[in-house]
Structures are given as structure tokens and as C-alpha cells.
Amino acid sequence: MSDTYQPKRLLVTGGAGFIGTNFVYYWLEQYPDSRVVVVDALTYAGTRSNLDGLNDHPGFRFVEDNILNQEKMEALLREESIDTVVHFAAESHVDRSIYAPDAFFETNITGTHSLLKAAKKVWMDEGNLKTAHRFHHVSTDEVYGTLELDDPAFKETTAYQPTSPYAASKACSDHIVNSYYHTYGLQTTISNCSNNYGPWQYPEKLIPLIISNMLEGKTLPIYGDGQQIRDWLYVDDHNRGIELIINQGRIGETYNIGGNNEQANLSLVNQLCSQMNTRYPDSEHAPHESLIQHVNDRPGHDRRYAVDTQKITSELGYQPIETFETGMQKTLEWYLDNLGKWEVTVSLFGTH
């Protein structure tokens, strides 16, 4: 374990998206005296109103811009005396990457490189923070490829075998981040997380899509046989892992963050239906399982993801707090109790 690092002024990219929004709230709750500058291009999945609860926080600032704008990123790093970048900004939906991959390569590869160049120039070439900075890159378990049912979980040393344009773009960005550590000495860390769920998620993703469709009595689409297995990670457990890596992680290292909750998609949807049946027993759509419909599988659909969290557990003491049951209950209750905060994205879903 490295000496404890104490970030004071953070630039959070993609901070108006799902995980970024939750991270900003989490960080300012844990460190209320921090300065957190969010930069987000506000593409379809980024929503400025997600962060309205922080508008009066003295340490919070929002900037609408794109990480591809290297000059603006450099100016923000200088102007705000940023010492830590937490890089969430990415195109992340596999289905979109299959049918429209260009944006994934532009944002996830070129955008990440643009941000790295800005950080290197301000922190190292100009010498502003040559020996005291962090660049944390948030990645995915999908870079490792797919697993068979009896395969061991992905380790940080597992060879990359991405199978979708999304996964390939994230794998490339991981390698670029590592190259800036090994070649230039930029103080980088990387985390590869499993499937996140929780508040604020854009409803093209499985859990909020299923919730919104149940509310409206629409079909609950399940790809193929529904036996694709994912390790489900509650978003604030993910944020706890990122916090540990930023504060205590070894520079130049990669850490897997998982929830230790492997679930098949069909099982997950059935559990959501059961919870909705309990919440709304008199709904005209109950039992909600009747809305399930199997559809043709998507091209190249990975069968199973799972990450081995031994490294972050042994080195940094990471443990997820939420079980799958408690995390799912919190998630469902948030969506049902906060319809006004995500109804805009529900109404927009299907138009992209």
C-alpha cells in the first residue's frame, strides 16, 4: 500500500452521468470541504438536473464541455488548481456500440487521450504538481472478454479479449492510461468494475428499463434465454472502491471492483417483478412476470462476467456493503419514489 494520498481539488469527468452523479454526491458527503469540478458534455445520458442538489454547495462547480477540448481541460486544471482527475466520461452502452461505434472510439479513446495530454502538460511539463497528483481512470470488466460457467473470475492479470466495440474502446483507453504512467510517470490508477446498478441510471440499461416498462405495462425484453450472468455492483460500493484506490492505491496499478453478486439476467428480472408485485399488488399489470418476453439475442453477447476482488480486498480492505437483495431494494425504492427525477429520460427512451 502506498502512503495515503489526500486529494483536495477534483475534476470529475462525466459527472452528470449515472456513476459520476453518484460519485460526486458520495465524495462531497464524505469530504464536504473538497472542491469538486464536474465537466460533462451533456450527451443523451448526461443530465444536468441530476446534480441540482449540489447547486448551493460551496465546493461544487459544473462546467458543460467535452473532454475532447484539450485546451479547455488544461485551463480548468490550471484555474481550479486540480490535483486529482476522476475519469468517468465514456460512451458505455454495448447495444449502441454495435450499431453506432464511432462515438465510442472518439470519446473513449481519443477523449481519454486528450485528457491525459492535458494532465501531463499542466501537472508535469509545467511542473504545477509534478509529484502530487492522481489520474484515476474508471473502466469495465468487459475488457477481459467472456467467461464460461466454470471459469475462474477475471483477475487484474487476465489478458484482455474485448468482444464488442464498447469493450474494445475501453481496453484501448486502459492501455493508453498505463502508457502515460510507464512512459511519462503520470500518477495513474485504473479500476475495472462489474455491472453497476442504483439511482440515476439512464433507462437504456437493464434494471431501470425493466422498472420503467413495468410501470407502464410494457414488455420486459430478455435477450435469448436470459442466462447471461453478470456480477452486480451497487453504485456506492463502487464509489467506496474508487475512494480507496485514490486515497491508498498504488500508483500505476489496476484494481478490480466487484459486488460478489453473480446473477443471471432472467433471475434478476424475476426478482424485480416479485418486488413490484409486493409494492403494487393491485396493479393492472400484476403479476409483472407476465410481461416478460424473450427476444433475439444481440450479436456477440458475452455469456458471463465476474471479477476477482482479492487484490483490492487484501491491499486496501475493500468490501461491498450492499447485498444483492438490499441493493436491489434501495434501487427499486429510489426509482419509484423519485419519478420526477428520471421521467424525462423515460420519455426519451427509444428515440435514440
40 is catalytic: no
Three-state SS for the chain is: CCCCCCCCEEEEECCCCHHHHHHHHHHHHHCCCCEEEEEECCCCCCCHHHHHHHCCCCCEEEEECCCCCHHHHHHHHHHCCCCEEEECCCCCCHHHHHHCCHHHHHHHHHHHHHHHHHHHHHHHHCCCCCCCCEEEEEEEHHHHCCCCCCCCCECCCCCCCCCCHHHHHHHHHHHHHHHHHHHHCCCEEEEEECEEECCCCCCCCHHHHHHHHHHHCCCEEEECCCCCEEEEEEHHHHHHHHHHHHHHCCCCCEEEECCCCEEEHHHHHHHHHHHHHHHCCCCCCCCHHHHEEEECCCCCCCCECCECCHHHHHHHCCCCCCCHHHHHHHHHHHHHHCHHHHHHHHHHCCCC
166 is catalytic: yes
Per the residue annotation, which of 25, 166, 197, 234 is the catalytic one? 166
91 is catalytic: no
Per the residue annotation, which of 141, 237, 262, 302 is the catalytic one? 141
Per the residue annotation, which of 74, 91, 142, 237 is the catalytic one? 142
Catalytically annotated residues: 141-142, 166
